[in-house]
Amino acid sequence: MGAYIVRRVIAMILMLIAMSMIVFLLFAALPADPARLTCGQRCTPQVVEANRVRLGLDKPIYEQYATFVKGIFTGRTYGSGTASFDCAAPCLGYSFERGEEVTDLVATHFPITLQLVLGAFVFWIVVGVSVGIIAALRRGKWQDRLIMGLSLVGYSFPTFFIGLLFIFFIQIRWGLIGFDGYVPFVEDPTGWFTGLLLPWITLALVYAAFYARLTRNQMLETLGEDYIRTARSKGLPERTVIGKHGLRAGLTPIVTAAGLDLSLLLGGVVITEAVFNLPGLGRLSVDSVLQADLPVITATVLIAAGFVIVANLIVDILYAVIDPRVRLV
């Protein structure tokens, strides 16, 4: 297993390098001229050219890429002479649009996404998996129909619509929760909770609905397996048959799905962050795309890809731990 993990980590690094190259090439092929974007409306060609040199955009693409990679590990210096400034490692670039280092931008935006996603994750796993199990055990009964009906609704409604409904009714019409938005936990724990509650529920609903269906189907499939019949034939009580033999096998695929979904969301929750005005990684990405802020886009894309790649590895290792039939070689 050790050798396997080493190999996978190497493959992972190669994948990240390939990802970053592709992102770099893509942006080089874009019609937008990053140097032109560094100054406003009344920009003289001289200023544009000066900025181009300052940014290193006059160099060939592979040199730019090398500087970018070097910046991540050792930091880099923009410009030269008196107009130069240092960007300390890990330097993901400098946003002239915002006048900030990309690393700092990510460091301020990511924790908000992390809190949003982890809170929603707990909610959707607890709710989705438990109602999915109930539906499987009450297959065909009213509980099953109700849960499956609601989950279809939950799954079909777009996140922004559910979010807006919450804002309209809970915040505006009934005034149950204020409009303070995100407050750091250390400043005001209660405010932090109420500020994130609606985004959590909004984001979790779609996933809870999906996981309820997934869990139900997995459980039904598992409960039809021969080894469940064997468990019954041993004389095990029904709660052991289902709670132990059934869940163990039925929930294994849920682990995979959960790991991958979690990693996808950590790269930024675009819609929920936009609806609830949360300054997370998703908002940062969208704003950067709208402003063609290339250094920020590059960084956010790489971070999102990194989460997915790392999560894949973790899920694979976890799977081998859960399922003894899986051999990591």
Partner 1 sequence: MSVAAATEAFLDVRNLKVSFPTEDGVVSAVDGVDFSVRKGRTLAIVGESGSGKSVTAQAIMGLVNRKTASLSGEVFLDGEELVTARPEQVRSLRGKRMAMIFQDPLSSLHPFYSIGKQLVEAVRVHQDVSKDVALKQAREMLDRVGIPSPDRRLKDYPHNLSGGMRQRVMIAMALLNSPELLIADEPTTALDVTVQAQIIDLLRDLQKEFGTAIVLITHDLGVVADLADDVVVMYGGRIVERGAIDDIYYRPEMPYTLGLLGSVPRMSAGETSRLEPIPGQPPSLINLPKGCVFRPRCPYHELVPGNRCDDERPDLLAVTPDHAVRCHLEPGQRREIATERLGAYSGQANAPATTGTAGMEEK
Q: Which residues bind partner 1 (CB under 8 A)?
A: 225-227, 229-238, 240, 245, 248-249, 252, 322-325
Nearer to partner 1, 1 or 122 (CB): 1
Nearer to partner 1, 64 or 240 (CB): 240
Cα–Cα distance measured from residue 24 to residue 72, given in angstroms and rounded to the nearest whole number? 15
Report the candidate in 262, 318, 3 with the shortest Cα–Cα distance to residue 119.
262
Tell me how far, at minimum, the Cβ of 229 lies from partner 1, in Å.
6
Residues 6+ apart with CB under 8 A from 222: 228, 246, 249, 250
Nearer to partner 1, 33 or 238 (CB): 238
Tell me how far, at minimum, the Cβ of 240 lies from partner 1, in Å.
8
- Torsion, Cα of 221, 244, 252, 225 (10° steps): -30
Nearer to partner 1, 171 or 240 (CB): 240
Measured from the Cβ of residue 52, the count of other Cβ atoms closer than 10 Å reads 17
Nearer to partner 1, 60 or 224 (CB): 224
Tell me how far, at minimum, the Cβ of 70 lies from partner 1, in Å.
48
- Point out which residues pair with 94 in neighbouring strands: 101
Report the candidate in 269, 275, 268 with the shortest Cα–Cα distance to residue 170.
275
Nearer to partner 1, 127 or 135 (CB): 135
- Point out which residues pair with 106 in neighbouring strands: none
Tell me how far, at minimum, the Cβ of 127 lies from partner 1, in Å.
25
Report the candidate in 199, 311, 177, 176 with the shortest Cα–Cα distance to residue 255.
311
Tell me how far, at minimum, the Cβ of 144 lies from partner 1, in Å.
13
Tell me how far, at minimum, the Cβ of 325 lies from partner 1, in Å.
5
Cα–Cα distance measured from residue 158 to residue 101, given in angstroms and rounded to the nearest whole number? 34
User: How big is the chain by its Cα radius of gyration, in Å?
Assistant: 25
